[in-house]
């Protein structure tokens, strides 16, 4: 019997350490240098605080836990990573301090999978060492969920490629050292063979950040999602990442991992909202009793607990499947399922927590508003919910076939007739004739 829901004691010790380390040493950074400061290149002053924290994570062998030993991680696999990411999800700085922040984890993963040795040396090493940040530049102003509608192209010119086009919502481009850009290299070859990925240093002439778009709630000077005009951007031929025409497969690898990591961290955010909900319910007194004694508030607690429990089990199961099969494609349906669940679970739980906190919950004196705004982000970044539902449905339907003949397989009269015929051969007992 192979089912086991326990964590091995050695890794549990690491998780316990990470939990108190994040709460005591990292969360203060969230308060003094709030998001998006965690994505900005470090000043010498900040380094004096951040570098020793990173070193403590390394000393505990928890740095870049998503990667194998050849790349500076420990090869813990996705299941252990999921347990760690639940802890890191509580804090905006924690993923940076542990070397597992989006979008860099996904970008690192494709560099590790598809990069040449030179590319790994130039881009992956400093990325994994936490020296630089990166950007993934795929969405365009006129199209996101449907890559067939992308227009940006790269044309070969001697030993170089020349990139032209527009990209939108390229997160953290302004602070990134390099961008991974998805472009057409051969339109006639179609979506699955005609697009390629390129590594583009951000200071390459022609990489024009036209505007940094803000998310709701972001301060204008902190806007972090770039509208970029790539205007005759020349990169050497060796900056092609993965095979020519292979961008779709590269993107799937990147987004598969990225979506799972988002879901893992969402478990941590939602748990934090439940912690706040319960504490408040036990602390606030109204109409003769504490809130926790009111049945409607108890319903909030129970619904939140149950919703998160279901979601967490599915996230852990997906992580387990990836470890088993080492193949994101094989787990595609369930990755899409957790991508669909994440925004709803987060929204519902944070909403209840806000409600129980009253006006305080809606105020900027509490972190709930920011957590709440993260819910629609989870429903959009790395593809909208609707598209992931389509993926789930198509994959589920693959396991079925149309009924033979007029009636469904479960049609009772048809099944009864078959059962009668089968049993009549071996028994003379009174068999239901179907007319009753
Ligand atoms: C916080 C954040 C960070 C992001 N970071 C990046 C980044 O770093 N790099 C990057 O390239 N992109 C990034 N994106 C962009 C993101 O990937 C796109 O927003 C997403 O893929 C959807 O594309 P779109 O916005 O163009 O919406 P559209 O493709 O125009 O879709 C709009 C809506 O149409 C509906 N819809 C779309 N397709 C279907 C369908 N097949 N069936 C039914 N309904 C459908 C859905 O309701 C969908 O929300 C980010 C987005 C957010 C919000």
CA-CA distance, 299 to 183, in Å (whole number)? 50
CA-CA distance, 263 to 285, in Å (whole number)? 35
pLDDT at position 328 is 87
Query: What's the CA-to-centroid distance between 180 and ligand 1, angstroms?
Result: 18
Query: What's the CA-to-centroid distance between 121 and ligand 1, angstroms?
Result: 32
Q: Whose CA is nearest to atom 12 of ligand 1?
A: 139
* φ, ψ (nearest 5 deg) of residue 43: -80, 160
| Upstream peptide bond of 36 is cis (omega within 30 degrees of 0) | yes
- Which residue matches tokens 């305080």? 360
Query: What's the CA-to-centroid distance between 390 and ligand 1, angstroms?
Result: 14
Query: What's the CA-to-centroid distance between 73 and ligand 1, angstroms?
Result: 31
Q: Whose CA is nearest to atom 5 of ligand 1?
A: 171
Query: What's the CA-to-centroid distance between 255 and ligand 1, angstroms?
Result: 13
Q: Whose CA is nearest to atom 4 of ligand 1?
A: 381
Q: Whose CA is nearest to atom 7 of ligand 1?
A: 170
Answer for the pair 124, 60: CB distance below 8 angstroms, yes or no: no
- For residue 55, give Cα distances in angstroms to 59, 64, 164: 6, 12, 41
Which residues, in sequence order, are CB contacts of 89 under 8 Å at separation 6+?
264, 265, 266, 267, 268, 269, 272
Superfamily (CATH) of domain 134-241: Butyryl-CoA Dehydrogenase, subunit A, domain 2 (2.40.110.10)
- Which residue matches tokens 């050292």? 177
Atom of ligand 1 nearest to the CA of 173: 8
CA-CA distance, 299 to 316, in Å (whole number)? 25
Q: Whose CA is nearest to atom 23 of ligand 1?
A: 144
pLDDT at position 395 is 97
Atom of ligand 1 nearest to the CA of 376: 53
Instruction: Identify the DSSP state of 120.
Output: I
Q: Whose CA is nearest to atom 45 of ligand 1?
A: 386
Query: What's the CA-to-centroid distance between 80 and ligand 1, angstroms?
Result: 30
Answer for the pair 57, 63: CB distance below 8 angstroms, yes or no: yes
CA-CA distance, 22 to 28, in Å (whole number)? 9
Report the C-alpha dihedral over residues 374, 259, 74, 270, rounded to 10 degrees.
40
Low-confidence ranges of the chain (pLDDT < 50): 435-436
**Could you tell me the pTM of the whole model?**
0.92
Q: Please spell the DSSP secondary structure of 144-188, one letter per residue.
A: SS-GGG---EEEEETTEEEEEEEEEEEETGGG-SEEEEEEES-GG
How many other CB atoms sit within 10 Å of the CB of residue 129? 13
Q: Determine the residue of 140, 262, 381 to mutate for testing ligand 1's pocket, defined as the one with the most ligand atoms within 8 A of the Cβ atom.
A: 381
Residues in the chain: 436
pLDDT at position 219 is 80
Query: What's the CA-to-centroid distance between 160 and ligand 1, angstroms?
Result: 31
List pLDDT tens digits, range 324-375: 998 888 999 999 999 999 999 999 999 999 999 999 999 999 999 999 999 9
Indicate the CATH number for domain 9-101: 1.10.540.10
Give the count of alpha carbons within 13 A of 195, CB side only. 21
Sequence ranges of the domains in the chain: 9-101, 134-241, 249-398
Query: What's the CA-to-centroid distance between 344 and ligand 1, angstroms?
Result: 17
Give the per-residue SS3 of 332-388: HHHHHHHHHHHHHHHHHHHHHHHHHCCHHHHCCCCCHHHHHHHHHHHCCCCCCHHHH
Query: What is the second-level CATH architecture of the domain 249-398?
Result: Up-down Bundle (1.20)
CA-CA distance, 59 to 55, in Å (whole number)? 6
Residues having CB within 6 Å of any atom of ligand 1: 103, 136-139, 143-146, 169-171, 215, 225, 377, 380-384, 386-387, 390
Pairing verdict, β 153-157 and 195-201: unpaired
């Amino acid at each position: 019997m192979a089912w086991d829901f326990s964590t091995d004691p050695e890794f549990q010790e690491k998780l316990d350490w990470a939990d108190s380390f994040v709460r005591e040493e990292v969360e203060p950074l969230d308060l003094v240098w709030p998001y998006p400061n965690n994505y900005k290149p470090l000043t010498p002053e900040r380094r004096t605080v951040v570098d020793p924290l990173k070193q403590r994570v390394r000393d505990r062998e928890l740095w870049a836990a998503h990667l194998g030993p050849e790349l500076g991680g420990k090869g813990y696999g996705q299941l252990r990573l999921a347990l760690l990411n639940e802890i890191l999800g509580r804090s905006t700085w924690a993923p940076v301090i542990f070397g597992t922040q989006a979008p860099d984890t996904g970008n690192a993963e494709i560099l590790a999978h598809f990069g040449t040795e030179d590319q790994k040396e130039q881009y992956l090493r400093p990325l994994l060492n936490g020296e630089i940040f990166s950007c993934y530049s795929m969405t365009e102003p006129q199209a996101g969920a449907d890559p067939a509608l992308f227009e940006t192209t790269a044309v070969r010119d001697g030993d170089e490629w020349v990139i032209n086009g527009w990209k939108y919502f390229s997160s953290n481009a302004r602070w990134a050292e390099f961008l991974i850009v998805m472009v057409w290299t051969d339109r006639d070859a179609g979506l699955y063979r005609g697009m390629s990925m390129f590594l583009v240093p951000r200071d390459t002439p022609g990489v024009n950040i036209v505007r940094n778009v803000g998310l709701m709630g972001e301060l204008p000077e902190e806007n972090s999602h770039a509208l970029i005009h790539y205007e005759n951007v020349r990169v050497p031929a060796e900056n092609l990442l993965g095979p020519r025409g292979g961008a779709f497969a590269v993107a799937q690898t990147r987004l598969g991992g990225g979506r799972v990591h988002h879901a893992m961290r969402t478990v941590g955010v939602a748990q934090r909202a439940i912690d706040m909900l319960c504490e408040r319910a036990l602390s606030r007194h109204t109409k003769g009793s504490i809130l926790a004694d009111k049945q409607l508030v108890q319903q909030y607690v129970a619904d939140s607990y149950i919703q998160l429990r279901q979601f967490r089990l599915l996230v852990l199961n997906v992580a387990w499947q990836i470890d088993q099969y080492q193949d994101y494609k094989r787990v595609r349906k369930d990755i899409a399922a957790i991508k669909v669940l994440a925004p709803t679970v987060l929204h519902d739980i944070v909403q209840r927590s806000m409600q129980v906190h009253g006006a305080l919950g809606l105020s900027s004196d509490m972190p709930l508003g920011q957590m709440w705004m993260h819910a629609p982000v989870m429903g959009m970044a790395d593809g909208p919910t609707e598209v992931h539902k389509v993926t789930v449905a198509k994959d589920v339907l693959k396991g079925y076939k149309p009924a033979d003949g007029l009636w469904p397989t479960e049609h009772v009269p048809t099944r009864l007739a078959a059962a009668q015929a089968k049993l009549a051969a071996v028994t003379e007992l009174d068999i239901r004739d179907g007319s009753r």
